Chains A and B, each alone.
Chain A
Amino acid sequence: MSNTFHPALAGGRRLPSVWDLVAILCVFGALVGVTHVARGTLQPLNSPEATAISLDPSHLPAYAVRTTLRMFAALAASLLFTFTYAVAAAKSRRAGLLLIPILDILQSVPILGFLTFTVVFFMSLFPGNVMGLELAAIFAIFTSQAWNMAFSMYQSLKTVPGDLEEAAISFHLTGWQRFWRLEVPFATPGLVWNTMMSMSGGWFFVTASEAISVGDNNWNLPGIGSYVAMALAKSDIHAVIYAIIAMLVVILAYDQLLFRPLVAWSLKFRFETTAGATAADPWMLKLLRRARLLQWVGDSIGGVFAVISGFRLSLGPRWRPMGGRAPSRALDALWLAVLLAILAWAGWRIVTYVATELAWKDVGHAVFLGSLTLIRVSVLMVIASAIWVPIGVWIGLRPLWARRVQPVAQFLAAFPANLLFPPFVLAIVTFHLNADIWLTPLMVLGTQWYILFNVIAGASAFPGDLLEAAENFRVGGVLWWRRVILPGIFPYFVTGAITASGGSWNASIVAEVASWGNTKLTAHGLGAYIAQATDAGDMARVVLGVAVMSAYVVLFNRLLWRPMYAYANRRLTLA
């Protein structure tokens, strides 16, 4: 796994180190946790301890473990999805024609609205067993994690440097070997980063997916999410605070134990030809490299990996088609025709299904509510930008501060904003504020940080000589913002804003309806529409709401963000 130790030097230090002890504690702790959870999932659904949630903080550690394991199970599923779906899309041009637009849509569809359907489906797989609920929850988390990971993999596979590809082929690496030795390593840094982002995104769904209600039935899976839902329902502010603390600990733990070392390790695969500044190894990576036992385990895994990835499996021809040759237009046309037919049929089925229950009036209503949510999202993006761009620039131009603030901003983005709802709800109730306006900020609570840390990154990368030139020509005040720094950070800002606005649409389903004990606050908007239809078990309205919201998101992306992104890349990148 690592080459930090030369065998000759390591010979004299065979004794177990302190790091081994730490490592053993970590491993056994994880094992105990897993067995505990495994026992819980096989209980019948109607046994009282299976779905009862206690607000006693002593139960929180166990809940935290179960929630975390659910998230990692979803992560494993996402990885599996990434290595099949994205690879298929990248390897077969025709598959890509279908799979990539689907992925694009899935990414912008508010999955939260579909929770109801998936619960019913998974419950029917394991009737009367907790396992069905568990799978439904895991699936919900999976839907919040998988898409961007698959996209990152697809993009990496499509941009593998041509000369490395040629080198691999001319040195007789088979398709299988090329995949594991060239393509996967090349995709690793992007994939690790996106996995980390996905994990953050997943928390938002945990609270929504553990406490599930379909029509009149309510189920609670033991976990932090259910604990929070219960605390909100019982207006127990202490419990909310305990939950926040538990969540902080869990996020901090996997960030330090897993993602910091993973990101540091993945830098090795970054495709760069010059040696950049390297940061010190995170402590966990040091531990992995120093603890002899773990090193041995790592080496064995690495050895097995080397054997498997070294299999001389090969698919397809060894010749590479040249330039514009090969693709047959007739087959392409046929394939496209088949896709369009399937699309038309699916569209027809949805329309007929919805039409049996709904009239055009409902569509108009949903579109109107969508425009309300659109106004909310737009206003929020403007306000969040007005606040965070100046702050981000200020921080980004001061390297010392940037280093301190960057991890904090990432952490805040990972923090599930719905935990912070109670104070807002309390304030709105106490001061009799207008829910339509004051519930709105909840939508960006979790997503504004993407703007902040992208702007920080942009400002830190801004070339020093341009700043000096600006100073030399006495460019200051408004002119400095308009001509110097804003164009410089614009590409970064757009990247952050795209993520933030997409997240805000999704958050509207949770944020436009907030409750605290028996008080229920509702804003007028498409998010509230979907949430209420879900509560009422009104499938037709859920489908309609989700379809309308998807349409809004896709149009918003196509008409605003894509052109802005293209413009930023064309005109404002410093190349």
Chain B
Amino acid sequence: MDAVVEKTSLLAVQGCRQAYHKDASADLVVLDDVNLTLHEGEIVALLGRSGSGKSTLLRIVAGLLRPTAGDVLWRGTKLEGPPEGVAMVFQSFALFPWLTVQENVEIGLEARGVSRAEREKRAEEAIDLIGLGGFESAYPKELSGGMRQRVGLARALVVHPDLLLMDEPFSALDVLTAENLRTDLIDLWSEGKLPLKSVLMVTHNIEEAVLMADRILVFSVNPGRVANELRVPFAHPRNRHDPAFRKLVDDIYGLMTRRPVPSTPTPAAPQAASIAMALHRVGTNLMAGLMETLAGPPYNGRADLPALAESLQLEADELLPLGESLQLLQFAVLEEGDLHLAPAGRAFVDADTEERKTIFAAALRAHVPLVNMIRQVLDERWNHRASAVRFRDELEDHMSPDYAEDTLRSAIAWGRYAELYSYDEEAEQFSLDDIG
């Protein structure tokens, strides 16, 4: 059953594009041609991997960022700065540490010049609604994470916004606290007690999206685009163990592991192997551990990602980069929500410590052009030394500084593990010292 009664458009994002301007090369596109319409009475989740630009989109909707191109229409008028009637909940809570719970909740009303008596009355209502009664005079640092995010919610609700924006609101909380807060929020929403018309939330947790949202927009990475739109047909309260629920979660895993067809280079394809390929920041121990887990029972070389994520206590956002890195090195293959071990991965698992390094080194040189290039440069130099700065500069011509940093860090860590080169952190320099 769908909660939507009357479909009034609240917010429309049209052809939105957000790009970093780089002088050396083309613009680095964070968001590309994003369209989105939000109606009254629905919860919409933006689901995507980190770096897919979903938080950027939320900030554009909040009027905190001006899009490079495209329009945001709020109730039919073009957005120029933070609009009235939109309130935001932050991943890090963003509470003012020097204000009490009550003062934090009142800040939005105070900014509008609401009279003191009115402020106190409305804050009291919001505080009671969200279950913070008795904590009015506490300071944020005295509260647990869950209670702090309740303050964040109360602060947003007290201004009676039409649209509530939530930026990964539960990801800084432990599993139980997050579940408790989600349930409370959904209960209030379905009972119609929240002074809201609509909710737009960003998350990388697939189950969270299926649990809370009426509609899910799945974002692709690099550049961020809306790759899929899904309707969640279940009524609240939803049951995680319902087969239909599990099926939807499975499907979304499949969607998120499917490679986008055009434009972006596919790592497996040899012709696309340029040094401009972004690497995930994934540790070698984690990769080895995952391969060992995959090889052993009960998976015996093939695992369903949601099940694997649950048993390893990893979120999709952590598991997917790991799987993709293994796929890049051709140790494993990702397809339709499954991960299965490739022959090279099997050989790695069966090898001892020294042989593993040899296998890893071979895979790196064959499939990661950046690592190969670093080693080549070192071999050619008379002193076998090379500064990391030149590689970073080269990477930054092709990707944002953050991605370049992650990619370089991975190349350093992986190459060190494979004993292809050593690295001096102080001098930011690669060398062949201590390499046999």
Residues of A within 8 A of B (CB): 3, 161, 163-164, 166-174, 177, 181-182, 185, 188, 268-275, 310, 312, 317-325, 570-571
B113 x A163 contact (CB < 8 A): no
B90 x A273 contact (CB < 8 A): no
Stretch at the interface among B39-47, B80-88, B195-203, B294-302: B80-88
Q: Which residues of B contact A271 (CB under 8 A)?
A: 97
B98 x A319 contact (CB < 8 A): no
Contact of A185 among B68, B98, B112 (CB under 8 A): B98
Asked if B110 lies at the interface with its beta carbon under 8 angstroms from chain A, I say yes
Q: How far is the CB of B238 from chain A (nearest CB, A)?
A: 30
Q: How far is the CB of A166 from chain B (nearest CB, A)?
A: 6
* Distance in angstroms between the alpha carbons of A457 and B250 in the assembled complex: 54
B94 x A167 contact (CB < 8 A): yes
Interface class of chain B by DSSP: loop
Q: Which residues of B contact A170 (CB under 8 A)?
A: 62-64, 82, 86-88
29 contacts between A and B (CB under 8 A): A163-B93, A163-B94, A166-B90, A166-B94, A167-B95, A168-B107, A169-B82, A170-B63, A170-B64, A171-B107, A172-B111, A173-B111, A174-B111, A182-B96, A269-B97, A269-B98, A274-B141, A275-B142, A310-B111, A317-B81, A318-B80, A318-B81, A319-B63, A319-B81, A320-B64, A320-B65, A320-B66, A321-B66, A325-B20
Q: How far is the CB of A568 from chain B (nearest CB, A)?
A: 13
Q: Which residues of B contact A319 (CB under 8 A)?
A: 63, 65-66, 80-81
Asked if B329 lies at the interface with its beta carbon under 8 angstroms from chain A, I say no
Q: Which residues of B contact A570 (CB under 8 A)?
A: 426
Asked if B392 lies at the interface with its beta carbon under 8 angstroms from chain A, I say no
Closest to A270 in B: B97
B97 x A3 contact (CB < 8 A): no
B141 x A181 contact (CB < 8 A): no
A-contacting residues, B132-148, CB 8 Å:
137, 139-142
B22 x A324 contact (CB < 8 A): yes
Asked if B59 lies at the interface with its beta carbon under 8 angstroms from chain A, I say yes
A164 x B63 contact (CB < 8 A): no
B137 x A3 contact (CB < 8 A): yes
B90 x A171 contact (CB < 8 A): no
* Distance in angstroms between the alpha carbons of A174 and B155 in the assembled complex: 17
Mask of B1-37 contacts with A, CB within 8 angstroms, 1/0: 0000000000000000010111000000000000000
Contact of B100 among A3, A169, A173, A188 (CB under 8 A): A3
Given known pairs A274-B141, A275-B141, A324-B21, the reply for A171 and B64 (CB within 8 Å) is: no
Given contacts A171-B111, A185-B96, A319-B66, 17 further A-B contacts (CB under 8 A): A163-B91, A163-B92, A163-B93, A166-B88, A167-B88, A167-B94, A170-B88, A171-B155, A173-B107, A173-B111, A185-B98, A275-B142, A312-B111, A319-B80, A321-B66, A324-B20, A571-B426
Asked if B368 lies at the interface with its beta carbon under 8 angstroms from chain A, I say no
* Distance in angstroms between the alpha carbons of A168 and B112 in the assembled complex: 12
B94 x A164 contact (CB < 8 A): yes
Asked if B278 lies at the interface with its beta carbon under 8 angstroms from chain A, I say no
Q: Which residues of A contact B82 (CB under 8 A)?
A: 169-170, 172, 318
Closest to A173 in B: B111
Shortest 5 CB-CB contacts between residues of A and residues of B: A318-B81, A171-B108, A163-B94, A167-B94, A269-B98
* Distance in angstroms between the alpha carbons of A269 and B103 in the assembled complex: 14
A312 x B87 contact (CB < 8 A): no
Given known pairs A169-B82, A319-B66, A324-B21, the reply for A273 and B96 (CB within 8 Å) is: no
* Distance in angstroms between the alpha carbons of A321 and B159 in the assembled complex: 26
A167 x B90 contact (CB < 8 A): yes
A268 x B66 contact (CB < 8 A): no
Q: How far is the CB of A312 from chain B (nearest CB, A)?
A: 6
Q: Which residues of B contact A317 (CB under 8 A)?
A: 81
Closest to A321 in B: B66
Closest to B158 in A: A171
Q: Which residues of A contact B97 (CB under 8 A)?
A: 269-273
Q: Which residues of A contact B90 (CB under 8 A)?
A: 163, 166-167
Q: How far is the CB of B269 from chain A (nearest CB, A)?
A: 31
* Distance in angstroms between the alpha carbons of A161 and B108 in the assembled complex: 18
A-contacting residues, B384-436, CB 8 Å:
426
* Distance in angstroms between the alpha carbons of A456 and B100 in the assembled complex: 34
Contact of B64 among A164, A166, A268, A312 (CB under 8 A): A166
B21 x A169 contact (CB < 8 A): no
Q: Specify which of A164, A177, A271, A312 lies most central, judged by the most chain B CB atoms within 10 Å of its CB.
A: A164
Q: Which residues of A contact B96 (CB under 8 A)?
A: 164, 167, 181-182, 185
Contact of A272 among B20, B94, B108, B141 (CB under 8 A): B141
Q: Which residues of B contact A185 (CB under 8 A)?
A: 96, 98
B65 x A268 contact (CB < 8 A): no
Given known pairs A164-B94, A269-B97, A271-B97, the reply for A171 and B159 (CB within 8 Å) is: yes
* Distance in angstroms between the alpha carbons of A168 and B94 in the assembled complex: 9
B81 x A171 contact (CB < 8 A): no
* Distance in angstroms between the alpha carbons of A310 and B110 in the assembled complex: 7
A-contacting residues, B99-131, CB 8 Å:
100, 107-108, 110-113
Closest to A269 in B: B98
Q: How far is the CB of B178 from chain A (nearest CB, A)?
A: 18
A310 x B159 contact (CB < 8 A): no
Q: Which residues of B contact A312 (CB under 8 A)?
A: 111, 113
* Distance in angstroms between the alpha carbons of A3 and B136 in the assembled complex: 11
Q: How far is the CB of B100 from chain A (nearest CB, A)?
A: 7
Q: Which residues of B contact A571 (CB under 8 A)?
A: 426
Q: How far is the CB of B66 from chain A (nearest CB, A)?
A: 4
B87 x A171 contact (CB < 8 A): yes
Q: How far is the CB of B292 from chain A (nearest CB, A)?
A: 30
Q: Which residues of B contact A177 (CB under 8 A)?
A: 111
Q: Which residues of B contact A273 (CB under 8 A)?
A: 97, 140-141
B108 x A172 contact (CB < 8 A): yes
* Distance in angstroms between the alpha carbons of A167 and B137 in the assembled complex: 21
Closest to A276 in B: B141
Q: How far is the CB of A402 from chain B (nearest CB, A)?
A: 24
Closest to A178 in B: B111
Q: How far is the CB of B398 from chain A (nearest CB, A)?
A: 16
Closest to A272 in B: B141
Q: Which residues of B contact A318 (CB under 8 A)?
A: 63, 80-82
Closest to B152 in A: A167
Q: Which residues of A contact B80 (CB under 8 A)?
A: 318-319
Q: Which residues of A contact B63 (CB under 8 A)?
A: 170, 318-319
Q: How far is the CB of A36 from chain B (nearest CB, A)?
A: 38
* Distance in angstroms between the alpha carbons of A317 and B18 in the assembled complex: 19
B111 x A322 contact (CB < 8 A): no
Q: Specify which of A169, A171, A173 lies most central, judged by the most chain B CB atoms within 10 Å of its CB.
A: A171
Q: How far is the CB of B388 from chain A (nearest CB, A)?
A: 15
Q: Which residues of A contact B66 (CB under 8 A)?
A: 319-322
Q: Which residues of A contact B84 (CB under 8 A)?
A: 172
Q: How far is the CB of A391 from chain B (nearest CB, A)?
A: 31
Q: Which residues of A contact B142 (CB under 8 A)?
A: 275
Q: Which residues of A contact B92 (CB under 8 A)?
A: 163
* Distance in angstroms between the alpha carbons of A275 and B139 in the assembled complex: 9
Given known pairs A181-B107, A271-B97, the reply for A172 and B141 (CB within 8 Å) is: no
Q: How far is the CB of B389 from chain A (nearest CB, A)?
A: 16
Q: Which residues of A contact B22 (CB under 8 A)?
A: 324
Q: How far is the CB of A59 from chain B (nearest CB, A)?
A: 44
Closest to B92 in A: A163
Q: How far is the CB of B163 from chain A (nearest CB, A)?
A: 11
Q: Which residues of A contact B87 (CB under 8 A)?
A: 170-171
A172 x B112 contact (CB < 8 A): yes
* Distance in angstroms between the alpha carbons of A317 and B66 in the assembled complex: 11
Closest to B104 in A: A167
Closest to A571 in B: B426
* Distance in angstroms between the alpha carbons of A324 and B139 in the assembled complex: 36
* Distance in angstroms between the alpha carbons of A517 and B134 in the assembled complex: 70
A323 x B20 contact (CB < 8 A): yes
Q: Which residues of A contact B107 (CB under 8 A)?
A: 168, 171, 173, 181
Q: How far is the CB of A368 from chain B (nearest CB, A)?
A: 37
* Distance in angstroms between the alpha carbons of A161 and B96 in the assembled complex: 10
Q: Which residues of B contact A169 (CB under 8 A)?
A: 64, 82
Q: How far is the CB of A319 from chain B (nearest CB, A)?
A: 4
